[in-house]
DNA sequence: ACGAGCTATGTAACTAGTTACATGCTATGC
DNA sequence: GCATAGCATGTAACTAGTTACATAGCTCGT
């Protein structure tokens, strides 16, 4: 019942543990010995202990990923990018979900550190920063996603451009008065609003933390602004709630009000909802690459958003601006 | 730059490593010594190596979860259940996604074994079975989700009941001729069709592996069966494709055709789609509990589905059957 | 036939911790 | 005042591997 160790294999094959290790990891061994060892491995069902390997290597071969909210399609695609690079590199991905709870963020990052992950990719709030910074100082490559943090690698979206993309499209569709729903006043959200404002000065913002607040915010926006002809949602998390509130209020999209939001999702095409998409998969790949091929100086990689035009903003009457470039643009280190 | 070890802490505090270990893990130590040790821990930014701890314990404190397809809401809620139990137990969850690729399933399970996870929860196809069985024999609790495998723990849905639930509701809504879309001929899918057939003999099945095939299958079903008045989708993965194909063909739901599918999802309520829901969160909890509090004999736990009635099947004209019980029903071990 | 040189293997030290056992020290009982 | 108990701490062996170094055994050249 006890698990077979390298010692058991060595005893069964009649060799030393050093020889078994050499057979498994490819050192110089004779064919006859190798055959004996493999027979013993199969006979015992031996599987080498990766933990012990890692302790000797000083570091696990696992990449840690701490996600705020797995239910968001954004993170799903990000993970796919990370997975792809990790698989090509032979690393395992250890995923931790924090459900947007501050204490879990800190706990997950600490746990990843104790697991001696080879690198860490975090998409959390500030709660995780102090520990992540210590890890970075200890030589674990750490990448922050969706936020820029001085002195650490970061992967983010050009949020101002995202807002400008929305403004350009809404203007092209003949809209002039936009209500904006943001999820809290986090920097990324504010930058998106800032970008939208640059293109459309008559922007009315409202903030919501959850679905109920979002519905209320939509109602308030509509009530206080009779000439409102568009609603922009800055957080994919609130898309369903805002869209539901809009249709529930009896308005027709896009005839009465245009609607667009952040991040693509499986139903968007079917529902005809225009969205600003982030190159999420690429962002995940880049994050993992910063872990797999460590870079000394902190890199702040900014990606450009693109617009997936569907029908929820109506017809484009004026020519729209060129589609944005999806390739990453390195803007250099931050400090 | 090198990471602080317990030896470094011991040297700085002027005590032995045994004492440091006792301070950290709560053995008998004097207050003065403990204070010195904690000061050294803070000064060095020491974080204990969980890998080393695990090798001594013979087993990591991590629970491995191998998921076929993270993009499915079913698995998302399952993971939440696992996370909840793991967090309460102080265990980390190590998540691996296989993207429905057979070779990755086997590789992920092998990797989890090498990481000496405390227990394994798999939602994969058969590719992972042989290795999982070996792990179970070696004393690692393994739980298979959504399939029953002789000799191993399994968590599954009463799929026949799910089909019957659909049949009862469709009948109550006055429908008589149902087209069914299944994703391949996997056992779970077939059981659902079997349940549906029991209640509605006039059931026409069609199978699809992906979105394009699903659209084609819907078209074929409609073309060959002019009096078809309902479409049931047996796989949440095909929901969007089937729904899109239905509306694209100009049919109105529920006036021309009723539509229902498996598993709830964020847009279902907004779109008025009736679904059969699995108690996913509870299933995840139960799976994790089988790992955390190991059970000797293989347990086959079957959960009951429930119906979330919305508007996509029309009005209920006859009284529907009672809502199903959501609590788990242990049916005993399989062998 | 004998030493050089090479290959295959074993020995033992090492990774970063835990823990059984031994020991030193103080406090208490008689 | 001395034996004894009990707490705090150190020593060393242990976990499951890896790897530097030593050595055994064989081949080959002369």
Strands A203-207 and A258-262: unpaired
Would the pLDDT of A325 be above 80? no
B100 touches chain A (CB under 8 A): no
Q: In what order do the strands lie in the sheet with B258-262?
A: B203-207, B178-182, B230-233, B258-262, B274-277, B306-308
Q: Which of B47, B104, B138 sits opposite A3 (nearest CB)?
A: B138
Kindly report the pTM of this predicted structure.
0.90
Band of pLDDT at residue A1, cut at 50, 70 and 90: low
Per-residue model confidence (pLDDT) at position B318: 53
In Å, how far is B116's CA from the nearest CA of chain A? Answer: 7
Q: How far is the CA of B210 from the C1' of D2 (A)?
A: 89
Mean pLDDT value across residues B186-211: 94
Mean pLDDT value across residues A221-247: 95
Q: List A residues 194-253 in contact with B (Cβ-Cβ < 8 A).
A: 240, 243-244, 247
For B244, the closest chain A residue by CA position comes to A270
Band of pLDDT at residue B1, cut at 50, 70 and 90: low
Per-residue model confidence (pLDDT) at position A319: 52
Residue A155 in tokens: 């992967």
Q: What is the pLDDT of residues A288-305, one digit of tens each?
A: 999 999 999 999 999 999
Per-residue model confidence (pLDDT) at position B319: 53
Domains and CATH numbers, chain B: 6-48 (1.10.260.40), 59-157+285-289 (3.40.50.2300), 159-278+304-322 (3.40.50.2300)
Band of pLDDT at residue B241, cut at 50, 70 and 90: very high
Cβ-based contacts under 8 A for chains A and B: 117
> Cβ B50–A244 below 8 Å, yes or no?
no
Q: How far is the CA of B99 from the C1' of D19 (A)?
A: 38
Q: What is the C-alpha to C-alpha distance for residues A39 and A46, in angstroms, rounded to an integer?
A: 10
Q: Which of B99, B116, B240 sits opposite A49 (nearest CB)?
A: B116
Per-residue model confidence (pLDDT) at position A2: 75
Per-residue model confidence (pLDDT) at position B155: 97
Torsion angle, alpha carbons of A317, A321, A325, A326, to 10: -30
Mapping DSSP to helix (H, G, I), strand (E, B) and coil, where does residue A14 land?
A: coil
Report the percent of chain B where pLDDT is more than 70: 94
Would the pLDDT of A334 be above 50? no
Per-residue model confidence (pLDDT) at position B335: 36
Mean pLDDT value across residues B18-27: 93
Mean pLDDT value across residues A45-51: 94
Q: What is the C-alpha to C-alpha distance for residues A288 and A119, in angstroms, rounded to an integer?
A: 8
Could you say which residues 57-86 of protein chain B have a Cβ atom less than 7 A away from any atom in strand D? Answer: 58
Interface test with B, best of A45, A62, A237, A267 (most B CBs within 10 A): A267
């Amino acid at each position: 019942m006890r698990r077979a160790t390298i010692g058991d294999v060595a005893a069964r094959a009649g060799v030393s543990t050093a020889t078994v290790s050499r057979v498994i990891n490819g050192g110089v061994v004779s064919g006859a010995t190798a055959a004996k060892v493999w027979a013993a491995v199969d006979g015992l069902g031996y599987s080498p202990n990766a933990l012990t390997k890692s302790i000797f290597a000083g570091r696990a071969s696992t990449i840690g990923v701490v996600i705020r909210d797995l239910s968001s399609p954004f993170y799903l695609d990000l993970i796919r990018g990370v997975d792809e690079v990790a698989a090509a590199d032979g690393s395992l991905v250890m995923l931790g979900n924090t459900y947007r709870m501050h204490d879990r963020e800190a706990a997950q990052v600490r746990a990843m550190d104790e697991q001696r992950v080879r690198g860490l990719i975090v998409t959390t709030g500030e709660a995780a920063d102090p520990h992540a910074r210590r890890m970075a100082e200890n030589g674990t490559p750490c990448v922050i996603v969706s936020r820029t943090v001085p002195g650490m690698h970061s992967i983010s979206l050009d949020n101002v451009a995202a807002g400008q993309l929305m403004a350009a499209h809404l203007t092209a569709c003949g809209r002039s008065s936009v209500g904006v729903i943001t999820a809290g006043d986090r920097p990324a959200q504010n930058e998106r609003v800032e970008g939208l404002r640059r293109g459309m000065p008559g922007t009315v913002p409202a903030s919501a933390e959850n679905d109920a607040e979002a519905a209320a915010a939509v109602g308030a926006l509509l009530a206080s602004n009779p000439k409102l002809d568009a609603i922009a949602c800055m957080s994919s998390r609130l898309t369903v709630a805002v869209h539901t509130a809009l249709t529930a209020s009896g308005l027709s999209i896009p005839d009465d009000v245009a609607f667009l939001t952040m991040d693509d999702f499986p139903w968007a095409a079917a529902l005809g909802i225009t969205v600003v998409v982030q190159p999420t998969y690429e962002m995940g790949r880049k994050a993992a690459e910063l872990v797999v091929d460590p870079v000394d100086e902190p890199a702040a990689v900014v990606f450009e958003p693109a617009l997936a035009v569907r029908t929820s903003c109506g017809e484009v009457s004026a020519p729209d601006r060129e589609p944005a470039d999806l390739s990453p643009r390195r803007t250099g280190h931050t400090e």
